A and B are shown apart, each in its own frame.
Chain A
Amino acid sequence: MKSLGSFRRTFAPWNDAQAKPFIAIENVTKKFGDFAAVNDLSLNIYNREFFALLGASGCGKSTLLRMLAGFEEPTSGRILIDGQDMRGIPPYKRPVNMMFQSYALFPHMTVEGNIAFGLKQEGMAKADIEARVAEMLKLVKLEQFAKRKPHQLSGGQRQRVALARCVAKRPKVLLLDEPLGALDKKLREETQFELMDLQMKLGLTFVVVTHDQEEAMTMADRIAVMDKGKVMQVATPAEVYEAPNSKFVADFIGNVNMFEGTAASVAGGKIDIAVAPESLTIRTDSASKSFTAGQPVGFAIRPEKIRVSRKPPADPSVNSAQGELYDIAYFGDMTVFHVKLESGRIIKAASLNAVRTVEDPLGYDDTVWVNFDTDAGIVLTA
C-alpha cells in the first residue's frame, strides 16, 4: 500500500495539460420541459480519479450521473467516455456501472445471483462466473452470506453486495449515487475508507454523487460543487475549503464568516476592506487578483482561523475587534464561540480543545477580543 500512497500524493492529472480526460462532459444541458436540470455544464474527469459531485438536492448532480449511466440523454452537448461519444448508446452498452442509492438489489436472487447477473449478460463461461463471484464476495467480506437473499442482510451488508455487483463487471468507471446515504454515522465513516481502499486497489475511476460535504472532502481527489445545474467550482477538497472561488462555495462548504464591503485601499497586493455600515476595516494580504479601489468585494474567513482572547492582541497589525461572548457551543473536540460585536454582527470563532482543563475559561457575556491574521481569510468578488 505504501507505493499506492505515494502514487496518491503525486496524483494530479488535472494540472497536466497533456493528460487526456477519461470522461469529458462538454456543454451538456438537460431540460425537463422548460426547467434546465443541468445547464451548459462542462467537466473533465481523469482516469483513476475519485471525483465527487457535491450539491444540495435539486442541483442537477443526480441528473448528470444518470446521463453518464445512459438513463437520460442530454438535450444538447455531448459526453465522451474514453474518447467515445455516448450519444444514443443505451445503458446496457456503456462501459460504466452504477451503484444505486436504494442499492436496487434483485429481491428474488441470492447474493451470488445478484453479483453474477451482470457477468451472465456478458455471456461469460460458468466456471469463470463462479470464480469472479467468489473473488467479489471475498473482496467485500461476505463469503458466508453467498446464499442469502437481500432481505436477509443488514443495511451495511446490502451496501457491500451492491458494490460487489457493480464492480464484478470490471467497469472502467463506477458511478455511485449517495453510496453511504442509507448507513448510520459510524458505519458510514468506516465505509468511506473501505471505498477509498477499493478504488485504489482496483484502479477504477469513481464518480460519486453526494450532498454530504464531509463525505466528499474525505473521499474525493476533486470535488465539483454544483448549484442550479451549473458547476460553481472544481478543485481539490483543500482548495475548495481554503480558496473558494465564490461566496456561494465559501458559504456552502463548512462554516464561514462573510463580510460585504468595498476595497478601500489597494497597494502592493494588500487590500483594506471597508465594511460599510459598521465602520469596520479588514486588512488583508491574501489577494491574488488585482482590485481597484472602491470595488465591491466580499471577505470570507473560517471560524477556526479566528482567535478569541480576553485582552487585545499584542501585535497591532492583526485584525481585531471587541465584542461580548454571546453563545458558546461545546462539541467536545472543539468549542464554537459566537461573539457579538458592537455593531450587532455575530462572529463565529472555533477553538480546538487541545488541553483538558483551562484556567479561567471564557463564559457568557464576557468581554472579549476577536482577532485574525491578515492572510487568514479570502477576498471574493463573485
Chain B
Amino acid sequence: MNTTWSRFNIASLVLGFAFLYLPIVLLVIYSFNESRLVTVWAGFSTKWYVSLFHNQSFIDAAWVTIRVALVSASVATVLGTLGALAISRYTRFRGRLLFSAMIYAPLVMPEVITGLSMLLLFVAIGFDRGLWTMILAHITFSMCFVAVVVQSRLVSFDRSLEEAAMDLGATPVTTFFRVTLPVILPAVVSGWMLAFTLSLDDLVISSFTSGPGATTLPMRIYSQVRLGVTPEINAACTILIAIVTIGVIIASIANKRREVQRARDEQTAARN
C-alpha cells in the first residue's frame, strides 16, 4: 500500500473535510460569540448557552423531542422487527412480495407526502393533533428503517439455531426470546438507535402532524430562524452536535473493542 502523502492526496483530503465540516465548525465557533450578530466576531463568551438554559420554550421543546423519540423509536423497533421477521421467515405466504415492497416504500416516499397523508388521516378520523399524533407519525416512517436493518441481519441468521432450540424442547415463544432475539439483538439495538435519531431531527413530518403545545426542538429552531438567527440557536445546535458526536464515538469504541476481543478469542480457539 502507498502510504506517502502526495500533494494531491493532501489537497483532496483537506477539500473533502472542509466541504463536510466547515459549516458545522463555523456554527460551533459563532455559538461562543459575544456579539448578538451571528456573522460578526466580538470575542469569546458562553452567555448564549446560559440564556438558552433560561429559555423555557427551548427546554420544553427539547423535552417533547426526547419523549417523542423515545416512545416512537421503541414502538417502531417492535413493529419493524416483527415486519422483518415476517418477511424473512414466512417466504411462502400469499402477497409476500407486495408486503415486502410496501414495507420499504416509505424509505423513498417524499416526507412531505408522508406528512400530508398522515395529517389528512388524522383530520378524517377526528384525532386531535398533538404529541400522540406526532408519535404515531414517527412510528410510521421509522419502523421501515428498523425493518431494513433487522432484516439484513436475519438474512445471515442460521435457522438451524431455532430448530435446535425447538429440538431441545423449547416452544416457539421460548425459542424467540431465548435464542432468536439475543442473537439479532445488536441489529435491533442499532435499528432503535436509527429510529431514535430519525425522530430526533425530523422536521417535515412533525410539522404536519403536531398540534398546539407539542413543538419539537427542530420545529422551534426552524421557527426562530425565520424570525432571525440568534447565537442562542447556534448554542442549541452545538449541544445537539456534541451529543451526537459523543454517541458516535462511544459506538465506534465499543465496536472496535468487540472486534479486538473477537480476534483474540479466535486465536485462543486456534491454539487448542
Residue from B163, B170, B265 in contact with A104 in the complex, judged by beta carbons closer than 8 Å: B163
In whole Å, how far is A48's beta carbon from the nearest beta carbon of chain B?
21
**How many A-B pairs fall under 8 Å by CB?**
73
- For window 160-193 of B, CB contacts with A under 8 Å fall at 160-161, 163-171, 174, 178-179, 182-183
- Can you name the residue of chain B whose Cβ is closest to the Cβ of A101? B160
Given A100-B160, A151-B266, A154-B272, verify A166-B167 contact (CB < 8 Å).
Answer: yes
Q: Is the CB of A106 within 8 A of B167?
A: no
Q: How far is the CA of A96 from the CA of B183 in the complex (A)?
A: 25
Digitize A118-129: 1 where CB-to-B-CB distance is under 8 Å, 0 elsewhere: 100110000000
Pick the most buried of A70, A108, A153: most chain B CB atoms within 10 A of its CB. A108
Is B96 part of the binding interface, using a Cβ–Cβ cutoff of 8 Å? no
Q: How far is the CA of A100 from the CA of B168 in the complex (A)?
A: 12
Q: Is the CB of A152 within 8 A of B268?
A: yes
Q: Is the CB of B160 within 8 A of A165?
A: no
Is B270 part of the binding interface, using a Cβ–Cβ cutoff of 8 Å? yes
Interface residue count for B (Cβ, 8 Å)? 24
Q: Is the CB of B164 within 8 A of A98?
A: yes
Is A97 part of the binding interface, using a Cβ–Cβ cutoff of 8 Å? yes
Q: Is the CB of B169 within 8 A of A121?
A: yes
Q: Is the CB of B265 within 8 A of A92?
A: no
Q: Is the CB of A92 within 8 A of B167?
A: yes
- Can you name the residue of chain A whose Cβ is closest to the Cβ of B182? A108
Give every chain A residue within 8 A of B36 (Cβ-Cβ).
none
Q: How far is the CA of A165 from the CA of B262 in the complex (A)?
A: 24
Q: Is the CB of B262 within 8 A of A91?
A: no
Give every chain A residue within 8 A of B161 (Cβ-Cβ).
104, 106-107
Interface residue count for A (Cβ, 8 Å)? 30
Is B124 part of the binding interface, using a Cβ–Cβ cutoff of 8 Å? no
Is A225 part of the binding interface, using a Cβ–Cβ cutoff of 8 Å? no
Give every chain B residue within 8 A of A132 (Cβ-Cβ).
none
Given A118-B169, A151-B262, verify A91-B163 contact (CB < 8 Å).
Answer: yes
In whole Å, how far is A209's beta carbon from the nearest beta carbon of chain B?
14
Given A91-B163, A102-B158, A106-B161, verify A117-B170 contact (CB < 8 Å).
Answer: yes
Q: Is the CB of A104 within 8 A of B268?
A: no
Q: Is the CB of A104 within 8 A of B270?
A: no
Give every chain B residue within 8 A of A340 (Cβ-Cβ).
none
Give every chain B residue within 8 A of A98 (Cβ-Cβ).
163-164, 167
Is A254 part of the binding interface, using a Cβ–Cβ cutoff of 8 Å? no
Is A90 part of the binding interface, using a Cβ–Cβ cutoff of 8 Å? yes
Residue from A71, A91, A106, A121 in contact with B174 in the complex, judged by beta carbons closer than 8 Å: A121
Give every chain B residue within 8 A of A101 (Cβ-Cβ).
160
Q: Is the CB of B158 within 8 A of A104?
A: yes
- Can you name the residue of chain B whose Cβ is closest to the Cβ of A107? B183
Q: Is the CB of A108 within 8 A of B183?
A: yes
- For window 78-94 of A, CB contacts with B under 8 Å fall at 90-93
Give every chain A residue within 8 A of B171 (Cβ-Cβ).
92
Is B269 part of the binding interface, using a Cβ–Cβ cutoff of 8 Å? yes
Q: Is the CB of B165 within 8 A of A149?
A: no
Residue from B158, B166, B269 in contact with A154 in the complex, judged by beta carbons closer than 8 Å: B269
Is A169 part of the binding interface, using a Cβ–Cβ cutoff of 8 Å? yes
Q: Is the CB of A91 within 8 A of B183?
A: no
Q: How far is the CA of A102 from the CA of B161 in the complex (A)?
A: 9
Give every chain A residue within 8 A of B160 (Cβ-Cβ).
100-102, 104
Give every chain A residue within 8 A of B269 (Cβ-Cβ).
151-154, 157
Give every chain A residue within 8 A of B170 (Cβ-Cβ).
92, 117, 121
- For window 146-196 of A, CB contacts with B under 8 Å fall at 149, 151-154, 157, 165-166, 169
- Can you name the residue of chain B whose Cβ is closest to the Cβ of A106? B179
Give every chain B residue within 8 A of A53 (Cβ-Cβ).
none
In whole Å, how far is A125's beta carbon from the nearest beta carbon of chain B?
16
Q: How far is the CA of A233 from the CA of B148 in the complex (A)?
A: 49
In whole Å, how far is A39's beta carbon from the nearest beta carbon of chain B?
22
Is A325 part of the binding interface, using a Cβ–Cβ cutoff of 8 Å? no
Q: How far is the CA of A97 from the CA of B270 in the complex (A)?
A: 29
Q: Is the CB of B168 within 8 A of A118?
A: yes
Q: Is the CB of A117 within 8 A of B168?
A: yes
Give every chain B residue within 8 A of A69 (Cβ-Cβ).
163, 167
- Can you name the residue of chain A whose Cβ is closest to the Cβ of B174? A121
In whole Å, how far is B236's beta carbon from the nearest beta carbon of chain A?
41
Give every chain A residue within 8 A of B182 (Cβ-Cβ).
108
Q: How far is the CA of A100 from the CA of B159 in the complex (A)?
A: 11
Given A104-B161, A121-B174, verify A90-B168 contact (CB < 8 Å).
Answer: no
Q: How far is the CA of A70 from the CA of B164 in the complex (A)?
A: 11
Give every chain A residue within 8 A of B163 (Cβ-Cβ).
69, 71, 91, 98, 100, 104
Q: How far is the CA of A90 from the CA of B165 in the complex (A)?
A: 12
Given A91-B163, A169-B169, verify A152-B174 contact (CB < 8 Å).
Answer: no
- 15 A-B pairs whose Cβ atoms sit less than 8 Å apart in the complex: A71-B163, A92-B171, A96-B167, A106-B161, A106-B164, A106-B165, A117-B165, A118-B168, A121-B169, A121-B170, A121-B174, A152-B265, A152-B266, A154-B269, A166-B167
6 smallest beta-carbon distances between A and B, as pairs = A118-B168, A121-B169, A104-B164, A104-B160, A91-B166, A152-B265
Known: A70-B167, A117-B170, A166-B167. 15 other contacts (CB 8 A): A69-B163, A92-B170, A97-B167, A98-B163, A100-B163, A100-B164, A104-B163, A106-B183, A107-B183, A108-B183, A117-B165, A122-B169, A151-B266, A151-B269, A165-B168
